[in-house]
């Protein structure tokens, strides 16, 4: 059975075609028609706009949102709302096989779509009680099924909707580099560390202004002791935050660092020097997955709340 995972990213808003400051979330959104909406209402309007299925014939993909009034709430620290995104692709035929007897139970035609349900959970943090922090950054959690997810298609539609209806640019970012390191870079997840440094020839005649060549070292089959791993992870975190321009390993210094990590059954290579727009992906516990491979709703929402609380403790919510 396929594994479930979640993709987490932060989002910010600013006036379209403007280099001005990012907008504050807990103020009303004013449209060109002078209508006023809260940010939660703006998202709800988006869900309603896409309640009817969209058929993108060029990309051969369908998309729509299922939302009910009860899909909203708040905790002590944030407002939340969620919807169920249903999306899938079409364009090629296939056969659906019963794996027990290998018999064909359905022949999917090229114009039929295999739509899957995915939960999208939106977190809008509250301003601090003493008003010292006015929030400008929120979070999006996308539930994935195996290799399938809806982050890109959903955020593309959100960007277009906010731009056209509110004159607002919707930006997606990573949540926090330190949090990324803490939650994703664990000894059991890391399969390779890839380090690169500029290498210059000892002959000055060979050296060009932009440098000469490079040297890459890859280490795998990692089995660090806890104390050694703690030191390596700390150096990775400092490199990712830009605190140090070089990553030190065994007495050598490297100016590029990539880490190959395994998330569920998938692997991805992370460039630690460019985490700005990287989404954080982590596994969802197995007990949240139902017998059909989809999540139990209440368990998933509880997990989203736990993760949101963890992330909020590390996020910088006011950026200006």
pTM over 0.95: no
Quote the pLDDT of residue 209.
Answer: 56
pLDDT given for residue 228 in this prediction: 83
Residue 153 has a pLDDT of: 96
* Residues constituting the chain: 320
Q: What's the pLDDT score for residue 243?
A: 66
CB of 41 within 8 A of CB of 61? no
pLDDT at 268: 83
N- to C-terminal Cα separation, the chain = 45
Residues 6+ apart with CB under 8 A from 45: 37, 165
Question: pLDDT tens digits, residue range 114-125?
Answer: 899 999 999 999
pLDDT of residue 200: 55
* 69-78 per-position pLDDT tens digit: 999 999 999 9
Specify the 3-state DSSP secondary structure of 166. helix
- pLDDT of 305 reads 96
DSSP 305: H
- For the chain, give every domain's residue range: 4-174+279-312, 183-261
Q: Give the largest Cα separation in the chain, rounded.
A: 71
Residues of the chain with pLDDT under 70: 1, 30-35, 177-178, 199-213, 243, 264-265, 277
3-state SS, residue 111: coil
d(CA 278, CA 269): 11
Q: What pLDDT, on a 0 to 100 scale, did the predictor assign at position 309?
A: 93
């Amino acid at each position: 059975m396929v594994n479930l995972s979640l993709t987490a990213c932060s989002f910010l808003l600013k006036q379209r075609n403007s280099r001005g400051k990012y907008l504050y979330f807990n103020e009303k959104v004013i449209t060109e028609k002078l209508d006023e909406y809260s940010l939660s209402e703006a998202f709800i309007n988006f869900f309603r706009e896409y309640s009817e299925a969209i058929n993108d014939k060029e990309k051969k993909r369908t998309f729509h949102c299922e939302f009910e009034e009860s899909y909203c709430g708040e905790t002590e620290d944030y407002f939340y709302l969620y919807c169920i995104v249903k999306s899938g692709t079409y364009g090629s035929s296939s056969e659906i096989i019963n794996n027990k007897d290998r018999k064909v139970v359905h022949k999917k035609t090229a114009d039929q779509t295999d739509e899957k349900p995915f939960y999208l959970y939106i977190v809008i943090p509250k301003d601090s009680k003493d008003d010292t922090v006015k929030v400008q950054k929120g979070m999006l959690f996308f539930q994935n099924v195996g290799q399938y997810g809806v982050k890109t298609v959903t955020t593309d539609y959100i960007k277009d909707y906010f731009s056209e209806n509110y004159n607002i640019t919707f930006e997606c970012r990573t949540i926090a580099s330190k949090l990324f390191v803490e939650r994703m870079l664990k000894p059991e997840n890391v399969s390779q560390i890839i380090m690169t440094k500029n290498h210059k020839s000892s002959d000055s005649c060979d050296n060009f202004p932009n440098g000469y060549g490079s040297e890459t070292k890859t280490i795998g089959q990692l089995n660090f002791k806890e104390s050694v791993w703690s030191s390596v992870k700390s150096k990775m975190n400092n490199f990712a935050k830009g605190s140090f321009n070089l990553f030190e390993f065994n007495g050598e210094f490297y100016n590029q660092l990539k880490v190959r990590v395994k998330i569920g059954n998938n692997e991805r290579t992370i460039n630690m020097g460019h985490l700005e727009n990287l989404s954080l992906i982590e596994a969802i516990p197995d007990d949240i997955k139902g017998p059909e491979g989809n999540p139990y709703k209440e368990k998933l929402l509880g997990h989203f709340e736990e993760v949101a609380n963890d992330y909020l403790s590390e996020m910088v919510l006011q950026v200006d």
